[in-house]
Amino acid sequence: MTTGDGSLTFFSAEFGQAFHNLSGAAQEAREKFVRPCRLDRLPLERDPSQPIHILDICFGLGYNSGIALETIWQVRPDFPVQVMGLERSPEVPQQAWQAGVGSGWSFHREWQEFIERGSWQSERWQGRLFWGDARQTLLQVPLAWADAVFLDPFSPSACPELWTVEFLRAVAERMRPQGYLATYSCAASVRAALQEAGFRIGSTPPLGRPWPGTVASPQGQDLPPLSEMEWEHLKTRAAVPYRDPTLQGERSQIRLRRQQEQQGSPLEPTSIWKRRWQQ
């Protein structure tokens, strides 16, 4: 389907959700992922002997990584970049390419080979795609590797296994201390899980909907602050995070574990928070 900015997205029958905000898939990639991770500034600050490392979790149609490359090279055209993408199977990226995603990018021929082969290597950039459950393929990413992480699964209620404290802790271990993680989600469960996993968190502006996204960093430098309303949300039962101690749990088990923890939580009911801020 075509989104508001003319870019394409797909709909997942399994998850019952579109892959992107319908106001604009390309715009979402730029404003919710690339810019919050400072990739429009990092090439100016970085020695070109140190490539920028991007970890794209739930690579999907490829917009986040592709627009990141475009953005970096608009600032410094030959700056070296390395991309690692985690995706369930080659099907979605390949269908996206066949539908035209990436065909207008200046590096579209390289992108085509990257998508079709699952890897690319040149002097300017390297890329590799890992297929399968991201909880397992993440283990192939080196520790302390990523400058920027795009966390882009389906919603926490639909895909809880990729929003757990344990998964996010494993992501944090693969980031450089000064790196940034960006996601479209502002769910209290996600933000609380990020905090428990060792991140400091900030809020990104709304885009195509009334609520913001989230940017996080192990060191927490220069993060845009959360509002008082957002901080109070983290003191309600909505902030009980998803947990998956073995990183192998079934979705139903992960949901049930959270429901049970919420039922026994001393935190304020979320309904009270909503009434307070709706007045």
What averages of pLDDT result for each successive group of 10 residues across the chain (279 residues)?
A: 73 74 83 96 92 98 97 96 97 96 96 98 97 98 98 97 98 97 98 98 88 93 93 97 97 98 96 87
Q: Is residue 264 part of a domain?
A: no
Q: Is residue 123 part of a domain?
A: yes
Write down the pLDDT at residue 18: 67
Q: What pLDDT score does 7 carry?
A: 66
Q: What is the C-alpha separation between 138 and 80, in angstroms, rounded?
A: 22
CA distances (Å), 144 to each of 130, 176, 237, in order?
18, 5, 32
| pLDDT score for 15 | 74
pLDDT at 5: 66
Residue 105 included in any domain:
yes
Domain membership flag for residue 102:
yes
Q: What is the CA radius of gyration of the chain?
A: 18
Burial of residue 219 (number of CB atoms within 10 Å: 0-12, 13-18, 19+): middle
What is the separation of C-alpha 254 from the centre of its chain, rounded to a whole number of angstroms?
20
Q: What is the pLDDT of residue 168?
A: 98
Q: In this predicted structure, what is the pLDDT of residue 279?
A: 60
- pLDDT value of residue 240: 98
Domain count along the chain: 1
Classify residue 207 by burial, with Cβ atoms within 10 Å: 0-12, 13-18, 19+. Answer: middle
pLDDT of residue 278: 78
Q: Print the SS3 string covering 17-82.
A: EECCCCCCHHHHHHHHHHCCCCCCCHHHHCCCCCCEEEEEECCCCCHHHHHHHHHHHHHCCCCCEE
| Cα separation of the two ends of the chain | 38
Host domain of residue 62:
11-225
pLDDT of residue 11: 75
The answer to the question of residue 52 being in a domain is yes
List the CATH number of the domain containing 61: 3.40.50.150
| 181 within domain boundaries | yes
Q: Is residue 63 part of a domain?
A: yes
Confidence at residue 127, expressed as pLDDT on a 0 to 100 scale: 98
Between CA 152 and CA 79, with CA 148 as vertex, the angle to 5 degrees is 125
Quote the pLDDT of residue 19. 78
User: Does residue 257 form part of some domain?
Assistant: no
